[in-house]
Amino acid sequence: MNGNDLGEFLRAHRARLRPDDVGLASYGARRVAGLRREEVAVLAGMNSDYYARLEQGRERSPSPQILEAIGGALLMDDEARAHMFRLAGTAPESRRQPREAVSPALRQLLDAYPNAAAFVLNPADDFLASNALAVALFSAFETMDNMARMTFLDPAARDFFTQWGRAAEAVVAGLRHAMGLDPNYRRLHDLVDALIEESDEFAALWSAHSVHGKSRDGKKLVHPDVGPLDLTYQTFDVRGASGQQLVIYHAEPGSPSAQALSLLGSLHATHHRDAGPER
């Protein structure tokens, strides 16, 4: 984090595009990947020196019209475009600081999903609350504390996530999105700084500046107790609790994964019953 997040974001998006992606002819060898600054400026209809100053951090007050033109030139989707506006400081004021306490009503709701793994995350991917099946699902990890830390720093993640690379990219893109929404959230900055220091793979993905919020997707997992699980997750913003998200992992009813998930819950319950109360 060097104070020029907007410039880095623009450079990362420029590097992903080839001239033919945007209808430009390419002549000769290129020293670096992607479009040249001058090409972006032409596509956006602006002075090339102004665009260069914007990337270099020497121009910090672009108008909404300028940002819209750049977003179009770099073929940004809606989430990337909104993130760019936030980085430029032209988006509405950020939300209130995220709430870390989960309400009793929401905890009761988690337990109302006996056949699904349900849990609540804050913007830094810390687990704030989980139902019994979620605890069973993530029992392969040494500690169920933070989804990003577990994905990149716990060796169990490489076996647990069948498509680890895809899972890792989604985690990083989600953190990027969260940082745009809550730029002053200290916990999130501390987490990112720590992961950049401890994981080269995280650092590389973070530098790519991909931005995606959690929504709905498939998850192919392998649990050491029940084997493969083909699940779908859905994410919901918690109204009245800024920054909290309810995440639900579920299987297709009647499928082998649903049976395996049910078995996992039974095994977990039996283990805890046999272990007895903690002393």
pLDDT at 278 over 90: no
pLDDT at 92 over 60: no
CATH number at residue 28: 1.10.260.40
Tokens of 258: 């649903």
Rounded to an integer, what distance in angstroms lies between the CA atom of residue 198 and that of residue 196? Answer: 6
Tokens of 163: 């498509």
Domain enclosing residue 175, as ranges = 104-275
Residues ≥6 apart with Cβ < 8 Å to 275:
none
Rounded average pLDDT over 246-257: 96
What are 12-50's pLDDT values in tens digits?
A: 999 999 888 888 877 666 777 789 999 999 999 999 999
What are 185-224's pLDDT values in tens digits?
A: 999 999 999 999 999 999 999 999 988 877 778 899 999 9
Are both 150 and 207 inside the same structural domain? yes
Q: Answer whether residue 92 is part of any domain.
A: no
Query: What is this structure's pTM?
Result: 0.77
Q: Are 176 and 190 in contact (CB under 8 A)?
A: no
Q: Answer whether residue 95 is part of any domain.
A: no
Q: Answer whether residue 180 is part of any domain.
A: yes
pLDDT at 241 over 60: yes
Distances (CA, A) of 113 to 130, 131, 177, 236, 279: 11, 8, 28, 14, 29
Rounded average pLDDT over 239-257: 92
Q: Answer whether residue 179 is part of any domain.
A: yes
Per DSSP, the chain holds a count of helices (H) and strands (E) of 13, 5
Which residue, among 51, 34, 33, has the nearest Cα to 42 in the 3D structure?
51
- Structural domains of the chain, count: 2
Tokens of 195: 């992961």
Q: Are 102 and 120 in contact (CB under 8 A)?
A: yes
